[in-house]
Structure 1
Amino acid sequence: MPGNHEYGPIGDRDAESSSTKATQYKRYNIISRSEWLLELGSLAASLTLFVGIIVIFWNINNKPRSDWTFFISLNSVVSVLTTLCSALMMHGVSEFIGQLKWLHFKNRPRKLVNFEKFDEASRGPMGSFKFLYGVRLNLATVGALVTIARLAFSPLAQEVIDYPERMITKADDRATFGYAHEYNRNLSGAMFNHKMISSGAVPHDSKMQSAILQGLYNISSPQDFTCPGSCEWSESYISLGFKTTCENVTITTLRTEKCVKPSGGVIKFCNMTTPGGIRLSTQHVDTDSQTTFRFNASSTMDETAQQLPRDFPDLVRFAVYRATSDGNFNPNNINVTECALSLTAYEYSEGHANGSEFGFGSKKEISLPHKRWNIDGGMGGFNGSVWTNASKADGLPELTLGWVDIKALQFYFQSEMISAEWVDGNYDNVNPGISAALIGGVDLEQRFTMMATSMTDYLRAGPNHKTAKGNRVQMVTYVSIRWPWLIGPAVIEITAVLFAIITIVRNRRSRGVPLWKSSALAVLACRHEKGVGDEVDWIRSDVKDIKKIEETAEHTSVKLE
């Protein structure tokens, strides 16, 4: 360089000096190493990696996280790929900024300090920040913005991946509950020498009796189902069942009351009949005792009839007399409730279970009026049954009840286990029956509904139950791709590609500018010459072919003075 002087605006001159003619710049093929091969290659590799990331996102989107079986996690793979992608992208961007530096000084005189700002911008984000504030807008500004935005490339790509928890269902034979289209213990073969005229002649169903008592005593029992965790049943199921209907008949019944006090006796006996024909009896002894609870039941069927009675599907009618007694044991607050236990069907939908809890989203009663029912074998036959025709239109299957099981149920309600009396005061209640469950202020309608539900639940798990298989429900972590987060990296990548194309086109048009890019050797090969008179200072180099500069550097040894 010449002797010391102050720096001023300079330019890169492509003209002869006073002593030496500058070497003309030699052009190479655009994809040669001396042109843009490495930059185009790195940019193409960056674009390929970016497309690869998109392909990965596309293939894993909305799939269980467990589907990703690669030994490196999805986030780690994306992190590695985005780091490589941005690194390859920045190799080209840095070189393009470096080349635009020479174009910048070729157009017209510039401040020499801009040379350093271009150089810093090609090195990283901090230099790019300085470049934006220190140099007027030009094409290299785009490169500086890409360099800064590159810092957000990988974080934004990571934000694309989300791991929501989703409930999924999968068929599982262990997810089961019962439903029944039939209640028939098939006892006809064991009863060839029996007569169905009394309770003692018909084998009782102890489990059905247990279900009745559990309902009456408000005892909750676990639902009969199996489920390995959380389950659901998407289909609907029809099941045979029971229902009760109750009515307050106090006034009507008390109008029929007739009381008798035997001559010489102290007990007054009263009899009354409900509208349904059920007889209730009470007793009273002045200042001594008073009936406060009476339960009685009657069958709606004749054991020898060949046709179903008019009231069918009512199986049993029963009535409850309740009262309180004052200090003299006079009856007060008398209430008579009459109920009927009937056959019905239920449609169970939206079954669900979680741990020990089980239930249905919908339970709809399907009425089974008298006209739907048929009798087979006569009501007096041990192998007889009552049944309904299947109806495709109504979605009803054939429903069947064995005659023996009907009679066992009716006899049980008429037995002393159920039909009983409780007398307050000076009286020995040897047969309290179920009085403890229903006496006092118990809501009878609710309690009998619970009884019918308990009986229905028994049928669903009883000897004729069918198995409804459902699905196991589990929380599964999914991969969800939030595509809007990918807009940022895509814009950065596309901007880098456009920046490369425009820079290459501008450079190919400016043939008077050497292709030195960010080469430090090219800077060392230049010299700063003071302009003559009013001329600007010049940056001059006698060798403009980067290959020759590199060859010279390869064979030259230097030392800092």
Structure 2
Amino acid sequence: MDNKPLSAWNSIISLNAAISILTTAYGAALMHGVGNFIGQIKWLRFKEGVNKLEKLERFDEASRGPWGSVMFLATVKLNLATLGALITIARVALSPLTQQVVKIEQQLVPEDDAVFGYAHEYNRGLMLANNVPVYDARANGSTFSFEQTREVVVNSKTLWEPVTDDGLSPHSRAQLNESKVQGIPTLAITRSDLVALQVYLESDSIASKWVSGNWVNKNSGLSAALSGNVDVGKRFEMMALSMTSYLRSGPNSIPAVGTSFSSQPFVSIRWLYLIGPGIIQFAALLFALTTIIGNRKSRNVPLWKSSALAVLACQCDNQSDKIQAEPMDIKEIEKTAETTFAQLE
């Protein structure tokens, strides 16, 4: 599943739940073996020499869980069971470490081709009214006669070109000067549309009318934004967005073909977090092998492990004031327990 989309995990159980189940099963199996080995070391310890009966309780608590292992480390001298107690305590970090192995990250995945419109020009094909050629028409009954078109004199300060015999031929477009404006692509707009925009910006919708007296100004224009709590920047941002959308879908729109991307969750395996569980597993194997080798050297010690029934096989010797036990196989003890009844009085 490394570097694969999360959708590739086709199972009723989620990925995190599967990791949790496997970690719990692994931890239970690990502690079953470690607990039994600690219990067996307990009998090896008492076989080597005389010990206080309190130590029997400490070994038994260490084989049950982390708290008993902590108490064992605090009260019992270093021995082979100390490694088992450390493994039992370290098992607490097993689940958090395995949960950190899998990380879900969002990645951009290419999908189908995408097409959207853009425009570097805005031209609706309109002309200014003062650019219309002037004709000399004389009525003769129901018939009109047209002479040659007269030229219209244009101010030399304007941007219009001279007029030909067939009509006016002005500079009908205004183009953005890229050398003076950075970060904005080339944009051409017709003179008529530019004038229309100028008229709109100077209209009552934008510019307020200020009067003296008690007359109510119904067309407040920008005065509400300037004197109130209106977000002016947001208004201009929305206006620019609307104008951009209109240009992209206008008559001068040019299609742009590309590739669309979507964000999808991907599984990333962080192998570094497996070092901790690997160390715990290695320590458990080392602990198991050492215990097995030590038990083979003491063949007279029965494999009682953590069995509570084994304690019942022990008897107190009145002469030596020691608790002694006859070596019995654990299966014999369990078989005897099946036919033996006990009651606490």
> Structure 2 length normalisation: TM-score?
0.65
Match of 2:115 among 164, 176, 192: 176
552 and 470 in structure 1: CA distance in 2 versus 1, 3 angstrom threshold: same
Matched, 1:538 2:322: yes
Superposed, which structure 2 residues align to 1:238-317 within 5 Å? 291-296=156-161
Q: Residue 149 of structure 1 corresponds to which residue in structure 2?
A: 90
Q: How many residues align?
A: 260
Q: Residue 316 of structure 1 corresponds to which residue in structure 2?
A: none
Displacement of 1:295 in angstroms is 2.5
The 3-state SS of whatever aligns with 2:12 is coil
Matched, 1:106 2:47: yes
Superposed, which structure 2 residues align to 1:261-410 within 5 Å? 291-296=156-161
499 and 140 in structure 1: CA distance in 2 versus 1, 3 angstrom threshold: same
Runs of 4+ with >3 A deviation: 176-179, 210-217, 281-284, 414-417, 442-449, 457-461, 467-470
The 3-state SS of whatever aligns with 1:475 is strand
Match of 2:75 among 93, 114, 134: 134
2:268, 2:19 → 1: CA distance? 14
Q: Residue 187 of structure 2 corresponds to which residue in structure 1?
A: 450
Matched, 1:470 2:258: yes
Cα deviation digits, residues 325-383 of structure 1 (max 9, x gap): xxxxxxxxxxxxxxxxxxxxxxxxxxxxxxxxxxxxxxxxxxxxxxxxxxxxxxxxxxx
Q: Residue 518 of structure 1 corresponds to which residue in structure 2?
A: 306
Matched, 1:507 2:244: no
The 3-state SS of whatever aligns with 1:110 is coil
Displacement of 1:498 in angstroms is 1.8
- Answer whether contact 1:120 1:128 (CA < 8 A) is retained: yes
Larger Rg: 1
1:61, 1:77 → 2: CA distance? 15
2:25, 2:289 → 1: CA distance? 21
Superposed, which structure 2 residues align to 1:181-260 within 5 Å? 211=121, 213=123
Matched, 1:163 2:100: no
Unaligned 5+ segments in structure 2 are 128-150, 190-246
Matched, 1:529 2:313: no
Q: Residue 319 of structure 1 corresponds to which residue in structure 2?
A: none
The 3-state SS of whatever aligns with 2:261 is strand
Cα deviation digits, residues 509-555 of structure 1 (max 9, x gap): 111212111111110110233564xxxx5331134222222222222
- Answer whether contact 1:543 1:549 (CA < 8 A) is retained: no
Match of 1:76 among 7, 12, 17: 17
1:451, 1:130 → 2: CA distance? 84
Matched, 1:498 2:286: yes
2:14, 2:28 → 1: CA distance? 21
Q: Residue 424 of structure 1 corresponds to which residue in structure 2?
A: none
- Answer whether contact 1:146 1:496 (CA < 8 A) is retained: yes
2:20, 2:296 → 1: CA distance? 36
Q: Residue 560 of structure 1 corresponds to which residue in structure 2?
A: 344
2:290, 2:308 → 1: CA distance? 24
445 and 552 in structure 1: CA distance in 2 versus 1, 3 angstrom threshold: closer
1:530, 1:215 → 2: CA distance? 121
Alignment root-mean-square deviation, CA:
3.9
- Answer whether contact 2:115 2:256 (CA < 8 A) is retained: yes
Q: Residue 372 of structure 1 corresponds to which residue in structure 2?
A: none
- Answer whether contact 1:214 1:451 (CA < 8 A) is retained: no
Percentage of identical aligned residues: 46
- Answer whether contact 1:211 1:458 (CA < 8 A) is retained: no
79 and 445 in structure 1: CA distance in 2 versus 1, 3 angstrom threshold: closer
Cα deviation digits, residues 398-452 of structure 1 (max 9, x gap): xxxxxxxxxxxxx9xx9856x33xxxxxxxxxxxx749x69xxx96977995339
Cα deviation digits, residues 46-72 of structure 1 (max 9, x gap): xxxxxxxxxxxxxx1111111111011
The 3-state SS of whatever aligns with 1:292 is coil
The 3-state SS of whatever aligns with 1:528 is strand
1:108, 1:139 → 2: CA distance? 15
- Answer whether contact 1:526 1:539 (CA < 8 A) is retained: yes
1:212, 1:558 → 2: CA distance? 100
Q: Residue 117 of structure 1 corresponds to which residue in structure 2?
A: 58
Displacement of 1:165 in angstroms is 0.8
Q: Residue 37 of structure 2 corresponds to which residue in structure 1?
A: 96
1:415, 1:544 → 2: CA distance? 126
94 and 177 in structure 1: CA distance in 2 versus 1, 3 angstrom threshold: same
Q: Residue 230 of structure 2 corresponds to which residue in structure 1?
A: none
Displacement of 1:504 in angstroms is 1.1
Letter in 2 for 1:213: N
- Answer whether contact 2:300 2:327 (CA < 8 A) is retained: no
Displacement of 1:215 in angstroms is 11
Letter in 2 for 1:548: E
526 and 460 in structure 1: CA distance in 2 versus 1, 3 angstrom threshold: same
Letter in 2 for 1:175: A
> Structure 1 length normalisation: TM-score?
0.41
Please state which structure has a larger fraction of its residues in helix: 2
The 3-state SS of whatever aligns with 1:296 is coil
1:445, 1:550 → 2: CA distance? 97
- Answer whether contact 1:95 1:517 (CA < 8 A) is retained: yes
Displacement of 1:508 in angstroms is 1.3
Letter in 2 for 1:133: A
The 3-state SS of whatever aligns with 1:96 is helix
